[in-house]
Structure 1
Amino acid sequence: MTALTIPPLVVDLDGTLLRSDLLFETGMAFIRSQPLGLLKPLSWLAKGKAALKEGLAQATYIDVSVLPYDPEVIALIETERSNGRRVVLATASHYTLAERIAEHLQLFDEVLATDANRNLSAHHKRDLLVEHYGERGFDYAGNSHDDIPVWAAARQAYVVNPESGVERRAKAQGNVEKVIRSNPSGIKDWLKALRLHQWMKNMLIFVPLLAAHQLTNPLLLWQGILAFLYFGLCASSVYLLNDLLDLADDRHHHSKRNRPFASGRLSIKSGGIAFPILLIASFAGATVLLPKEFSYVLVAYYVLTLTYSLALKRRMAVDVIALAMLYTLRIIAGAAAFSLPLTFWVLAFSMFMFLSLALVKRYAELRDARHKGLNEKTRGRGYYPSDLEMISSLGASSGYLAVMVLALYIHDQATSVLYSQPQVIWLACPLLLFWITRIWMLTHRGQMHDDPVVFAIRDRVSLMVGALFCLVFWVAS
């Protein structure tokens, strides 16, 4: 065939060229920008799916330059274009987004997409393509069940990362030219999205048990294990929702862009299903098996985390105070699970310590930005790289205040009741001073690449200091 007689290659967008779905992309962007305006999408949906897509497309901004495009599909398009073939983008996404993507990629000769009057999917897409190019007058690349009728009218079918059952149905039609599997996802992606390694933070739940010298109580220990589990499920639910809300910011970050949802390895739809399931499991278990006070703390943690994700994380100073509170809430949750009182000393110590660690996180982010030569406000945050010195000053001061609280605790009358040799606790002060100083020095040198609590759990020196810290309190008892 000559270039003029080769049927055009028609390429679907969502799930095919793009490892995502623009309806869900715009939906999450809308929730992030207008969390209290959820009635608007419902009013658009009442007018039809095309109206919903148009409303979301006009109410949000999607940076098409950082969307997760499939390199193998792009390579296929480039090969066909080099052979003189026309390539058409045909998508159920709204035409304004489709045209912006086509302009960005510079790979398409024509764009067919949903407008206010027509949702271009399934049979509607098939009918339009047949009208334009005739029956068997085009080849089509797609991925979903909606593409089955389109493949039936196509000359050849390209099946890209098919949904469950799609490949079998497509092959039954007898015109499959190629199956592309370029985006396999699995349990490792889910484990990464759930951030199970972050569950180590929930060990803070056991702090009240340690402080009360009740670690050997089997009943309380079992309650602690349940609290650890349900808090972890709640935290993973929050991590999933946070990643869905932060897609735009994550895709502009040098490492976060590789997260499962930002990279398109996991679909936004699957995340939208998973996070409420985890949340329901967490609260159901906590309500049935633990004191009601634990559930109250869990609600407070979830509300604060959601507020942090939607607004507080972009507010200078408020964000790090919120992070410190989220750490402290784990200790409060432990006290609620064990029905143990919380002392002034534990709360004061934890707030100063965790504020210091929250500032460590911000310092590490801003240091990377400064080393890249950036001067503007960090994307999604309320800080400038020029704030580094002030943040380090505030962070180190907060850490040293935590040491002062520990020193004052030694002279509290209640301490002499709990410990036979409270003066031995003084040895914990230089240990803590060393650890805080080391953490800030490592961060200053650019060696802090993780959450500082997770870093401490993995760092050999930190583990050694922690063991000596516990030994001091054991000797003092």
Structure 2
Amino acid sequence: EEIVAYVQRWRDAGGRAVLVSAADQRIVERVADHLALFDEAYGSDGRMNLKGARKADFLAEHYPEGFAYIGDKDADYAIWQRAARAITVDVPRSLRARVDDLPIESEHLTTRGSHFGPLMRAMRPQQWLKNVLVFLPLLAAHRFDLVTLGEAALAFVAYSVVASSVYLLNDLLDLQADRTHPRKCKRPFASGALPLSWGTVLAPGLLLAGGLVSVLLGPVFMAVMAIYYLVTTAYSFVLKRRLVIDICALATLYTLRIVAGGMATGISLSVWLLAFSMFFFFSLAAMKRQTELVSSVAEGQDKAHGRGYVTDDLPLVSNMAVASGYVSILVMALYLNSPAVQILYSATVPLWGICLVLLYWLSRMVMLAHRGQMHDDPVVFAAKDRVSIACAGIILGLALVGNVL
């Protein structure tokens, strides 16, 4: 915003503003059209990459009378050497000193405030809520001793930092697309609120930290964590653009968290829990795609941005969310009628209320997604939604009643 204001003041004073970027010409034109601030816009066209020395040659050829240049990277030094005026933005002291040594007028702009807020947004701690699933095995098995809780807590930490590593990597990979997206352009890297160098350092750093924590939980947990990282990385690169495979991948990632919780605590996972989780999280993943398709329809697009779905798929995707969700509740009902429940709970009748609450909650979530009233990942939305929180409280209450009666 500070740079936009600076350019606007430049134009108000009678100057011309030209956007020249190494990005693709089409992207540069979109940015220029969005800002409505530049007289001309030039980008790379497949034959010439307008970066560094090539950009300097381009500017010197097109503006022989001289030009002022705003830049923020070491590669821009070659351009400042040819410019009549150098304007730097948030550059290191060493680069600033080199620019000051040039025989031209120089100006140094600073837009940086605290990076803590943008960093937290880039790491997406709200998504760590999904990692609470590592505690599900101990809840299902009624194992609440300190050792088991500590192991589950370590698993939560490991999954959270590794997940943040993947989010940072994903944002770096999708940088160009995010900058042209109506909502994702506000992400820390895409908006420029967080330097790209932070992502290139923190992404592998957080992955290493998660790996070190995983060592404390044993080789089996490390193997599950490795599978999780491979699947989520494959999802970021390829799978999220593949029809239906993306939904299966998301459901698998949710279920792997439960498996990891079992491996970390040494608790055997029941077939009932795994079956319920696969169907339940397939439903949530389909609901996520449903939400994206509803947004695409509202924006007048014929397909979901960066996904393998067209808007005509919306009814089918919605049906997938409903059907899979209801099957998960059927699995829950069958489980409640199994001998295993008699061992864990003194009274099973209150537990049937859980099925009713889940029926209501899933049906309501699908309806909200259908109406375009869900703008987040379903899990993130539920964490902020009062009705969803109340449903979770009722479910926990019913489970507690079934355990103490």
Instruction: Report the CA distance between 1:250 and its aligned residue.
Output: 2.7
Q: How does 1:289-368 map to 2 (within 5 A)?
A: 289-368=216-295
Match of 1:428 in 2: 354
**Unaligned 5+ runs, structure 2:** 33-37
Cα distance in 2 for residues equivalent to 1:140 and 1:249 = 25
Match of 1:255 among 163, 176, 183: 183
Letter in 2 for 1:158: I
Question: Does 1:224 find its partner at 2:152?
Answer: yes
Match of 1:30 in 2: none
Match of 2:392 among 466, 470, 475: 466
Match of 1:391 in 2: 317
Match of 2:336 among 388, 394, 410: 410
The 1:359–1:252 alpha-carbon spacing in structure 2 relative to 1, beyond 3 Å, is: farther
Q: Deviations over 1:394-424 (max 9, x none)?
A: 2111111111111100111122112222233
Cα distance in 2 for residues equivalent to 1:201 and 1:104 = 35
Instruction: Report the CA distance between 1:209 and its aligned residue.
Output: 0.5
Give yes or no for contact 1:291–1:339 (8 Å, CA) kept in 2: no
Question: Does 1:181 find its partner at 2:114?
Answer: no
The 1:87–1:246 alpha-carbon spacing in structure 2 relative to 1, beyond 3 Å, is: closer
**Tell me, what secondary structure is at the counterpart of 1:158?**
strand
Structure 1 length as normaliser, TM-score?
0.73
**Tell me, what secondary structure is at the counterpart of 1:261?**
helix
**Tell me, what secondary structure is at the counterpart of 1:157?**
strand
Instruction: Report the CA distance between 1:302 and its aligned residue.
Output: 0.6
Match of 1:143 among 51, 66, 72: 72
Cα distance in 1 for residues equivalent to 2:388 and 2:210 = 31
Question: Does 1:192 find its partner at 2:121?
Answer: yes
Match of 1:49 in 2: none
The 1:118–1:446 alpha-carbon spacing in structure 2 relative to 1, beyond 3 Å, is: closer
Letter in 2 for 1:213: H
The 1:426–1:103 alpha-carbon spacing in structure 2 relative to 1, beyond 3 Å, is: closer
Instruction: Report the CA distance between 1:273 and its aligned residue.
Output: 2.1
Give yes or no for contact 1:415–1:422 (8 Å, CA) kept in 2: yes
Give yes or no for contact 1:316–1:382 (8 Å, CA) kept in 2: yes
Equivalent residue pairs, number: 396
Kindly name which structure, 1 or 2, has the bigger radius of gyration based on alpha carbons.
1
Question: Does 1:205 find its partner at 2:131?
Answer: no
Match of 2:300 in 1: 373
Match of 1:10 in 2: none
Cα distance in 2 for residues equivalent to 1:125 and 1:356 = 53
Q: Deviations over 1:133-156 (max 9, x none)?
A: 69xx76444334555686577654
The 1:417–1:261 alpha-carbon spacing in structure 2 relative to 1, beyond 3 Å, is: same
Q: Deviations over 1:327-366 (max 9, x none)?
A: 1111111001101101001011111111111111111111
Structure 2 length as normaliser, TM-score?
0.85
Instruction: Report the CA distance between 1:381 and its aligned residue.
Output: 0.9
Match of 1:161 in 2: 90
Instruction: Report the CA distance between 1:240 and its aligned residue.
Output: 0.9
Instruction: Report the CA distance between 1:195 and its aligned residue.
Output: 0.3
Instruction: Report the CA distance between 1:440 and its aligned residue.
Output: 1.3
